[in-house]
């Protein structure tokens, strides 16, 4: 759960150099740069790109730890989020759930899965 509470070097310190990523966005970026999954992890969290300022209506409060389960070396975190309904006017949100699953070894993150997809370019 610390992964979602810390940023920068503190987040990078949670990962083992053998880290294996299954998020296709991170995998693609690593392959394009010729980096390992761990190197891309470090790059993404030590030098994150600036996020654009959010304008317009804000969604209801979200729960980053809606459900947390752990068994053996696998931890899954289900996040409760609210997303803008693309078929409705701004400020019309719907409840959705996202997940992150980690394999942990000796207190370090060694593998990660989530529900990310590669989005088409904006037109």
pLDDT at 71: 97
CATH number of the domain residue 83 falls in: 3.10.450
Q: Residue 22: phi, psi to the nearest 5? A: -115, 0
Mean pLDDT of 98-110: 97
pLDDT in tens, 3-29: 999 999 999 999 999 999 999 999 999
Domain count, the chain: 1
- Quick check: is 121 in a domain? no
Q: Any idea what the Cα angle at residue 62 is, between residues 108 and 116, rounded to 5°?
A: 55
- Quick check: is 72 in a domain? yes
- Quick check: is 122 in a domain? no
Q: Which domain holds residue 46?
A: 2-114
- Quick check: is 119 in a domain? no
């Amino acid at each position: 759960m610390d992964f979602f509470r810390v940023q920068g070097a503190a987040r990078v310190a949670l990962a083992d150099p053998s880290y294996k990523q299954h998020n296709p966005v991170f995998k693609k970026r690593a392959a394009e740069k010729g980096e390992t999954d761990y190197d891309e992890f470090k790059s993404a969290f030590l030098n994150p790109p600036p996020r654009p300022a959010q304008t317009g209506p804000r969604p209801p409060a979200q729960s980053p730890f809606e459900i947390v389960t752990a068994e053996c070396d696998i931890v899954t975190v289900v996040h409760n989020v609210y997303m803008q309904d693309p078929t409705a006017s701004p400020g019309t949100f719907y409840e959705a759930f996202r997940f992150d699953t980690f394999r942990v070894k000796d207190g370090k993150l060694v593998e990660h899965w989530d529900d990310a997809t590669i989005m088409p370019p904006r037109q």
